[in-house]
Amino acid sequence: MPTQAKIDLVAGLTERFSSARNIFITDYAGLNVEQITRLRKSLRESGVAYIVAKNTLLRIAAREAGYVELEKYLTGPVAVAFSSTEPNVPAKILYEAYKENKEKNKPEIRAFYIDRQPFAGTTAERIAKLPPREILLSQLVAAVQGPIAGLVGTLDSIVRELIGTIDAMAKKGA
């Protein structure tokens, strides 16, 4: 019979799974208390919750929130990062922690979800290295704006040449 505390914990985890834009499943085994505390603090300062719970409770909450395929990653020591920020925020922090503890290969990102789309943990490094959303959007605008500006310049020169030709013909005819 489940205790009320476990029922409440599953309800809270289900809410986190349902409301998070980004979910990162990590293996934290091998990290000491100081390293995990530092990692949690960095994530919390960026608006990311990093939760360690029993895999059984995580499985139940994930299933209730519609993340059935996530269950295969919930084995051994697992911590889950829940975020509503841009996906590169938790990815960067987890990747930096990974680089600091490279000899242990921890915390290993097993898998992650961005807007309910699953990704292999090995691709998290690419997400971590992405610039912020605003910079990506400005790069997109610049990429689109370049050819348009070139087209406008070309059309402007054609119109200018046409006006010059008409003006020359008018002066010649007068």
pLDDT tens, position by position, 32-64:
889 889 999 999 999 999 999 999 999 999 999
- Tell me the C-alpha distance between 107 and 40, whole Å: 12
CA angle, residues 116, 118, 123, in degrees to nearest 5 = 130
- Compute the average pLDDT of residues 140-150: 79
Name the more confident of 167 and 58: 58
The set of residues, in sequence order, having a beta carbon less than 8 Å from that of 138 and lying 6+ positions away, is none
What pLDDT band is residue 24 in, cutting at 50, 70 and 90? Answer: very high
Q: Is the pLDDT of residue 1 over 60?
A: no
> Strand (E) positions, the chain?
22-27, 48-52, 78-83, 108-114, 117-120
Q: Is the pLDDT of residue 174 over 70?
A: no
The answer to whether the beta carbons of residues 22 and 87 sit under 8 Å apart is yes
What pLDDT band is residue 159 in, cutting at 50, 70 and 90? Answer: confident
- Tell me the C-alpha distance between 30 and 28, whole Å: 6
pTM for the full predicted model: 0.73
- Compute the average pLDDT of residues 9-32: 92
What is the sign of the dihedral through the CA atoms of 35, 41, 43 and 44? positive
| Mean of pLDDT over the chain | 86
Pick from 23-37, 109-123, 130-144: least confident? 130-144
The answer to whether the beta carbons of residues 23 and 67 sit under 8 Å apart is yes
- Compute the average pLDDT of residues 76-90: 90
- Among 50, 40, 42, smallest CA distance to 20 is for 50
Pick from 42-46, 55-59, 123-127, 164-168: least confident? 123-127
* Cα dihedral: 158, 160, 166, 171 (round 10): -150
Tell me the three state secondary structure of residue 134: helix
- Compute the average pLDDT of residues 93-121: 84
